[in-house]
Amino acid sequence: MIAVTDHDTIEGALRAAEHAARWTRLQVVIGEEVSSRDGHIVALFIEKRIRPGMTAAATVHAIHDQGGLAVAVHPFWRTQRRTRSARVHGVGWLAAELEFDAIEVENATPGFYVFNQLARRLNMGLGAAELGGSDAHILDAIGRAYTEFPGKTPKALRAAIEAGTTRAARRRYRALGLMRYAAWGLNHERYIAVV
């Protein structure tokens, strides 16, 4: 199974779920990576789009309001709170303060080793469910970080997150995948526009 969590939309996830149900045995969790004012927050098991631009607290609340689970993804990928130019990617220490259901401790973006270590350390104190997410912006990235849990269904994943029995893991990129990621970084805007 896979969770599809595009930035600020669930259209792609809905289409993936529909396609998967018709043609494959893959099960799709509808999700969204919401750009909150304080950093990115992943919503899992949602049915309606969560609007971007709210505070982290309001975003977590909106996710729970529709029965979804809120994940602090790459919480320490950040430099400072939003100024005019600097972007905030992760929610930082808000990951400990707000009612997150899980913390992403393995993010597959190349070069995130330190951010992942910090997230793991944070969660040692918190004891929230740990998640691995590929944060895939290219095909090679899918499944490079992943979440293990007892069972095979979205329902089982949800139960495992709630029970805190998930385990985050990762596997290495192939050299070609890393090269493609580097190319993606250079052509980021164009890649999104073309795809």
List residues binding Zn ion (CB under 5 A).
Answer: 40
Least distance from Zn ion to the Cβ atom of residue 112, Å:
11
Least distance from Zn ion to the Cβ atom of residue 177, Å:
19
- 70/87 Cα distance (integer angstroms): 21
How far lies 141's CA from each of 55, 62, 133, 152, in Å? 29, 29, 10, 21
Tokens at residue 17, please? 């779920």
- 20/179 Cα distance (integer angstroms): 29
CA-closest candidate to residue 133, choices 69, 185, 194? 69
Nearer to Zn ion, 40 or 78 (CB): 40
Least distance from Zn ion to the Cβ atom of residue 40, Å:
4
Q: Phi/psi of residue 165, each to 5°?
A: -110, 15
Nearer to Zn ion, 36 or 166 (CB): 36
Least distance from Zn ion to the Cβ atom of residue 163, Å:
26
Nearer to Zn ion, 55 or 165 (CB): 55
Nearer to Zn ion, 165 or 191 (CB): 191
Residues 6+ apart with CB under 8 A from 35: 7, 8, 52, 53
Nearer to Zn ion, 40 or 170 (CB): 40
Least distance from Zn ion to the Cβ atom of residue 156, Å:
25
User: In this chain, which residue has its C-beta nearest to Zn ion?
Assistant: 40
For residue 138, which amino acid is it?
I
Q: How many residues does the chain have?
A: 195
In sequence order, the β-bridge partners of residue 4 are 30
Residue 152 CB neighbour total at 10 angstroms: 11
Nearer to Zn ion, 52 or 164 (CB): 52
Least distance from Zn ion to the Cβ atom of residue 42, Å:
8
In sequence order, the β-bridge partners of residue 41 are 34, 72
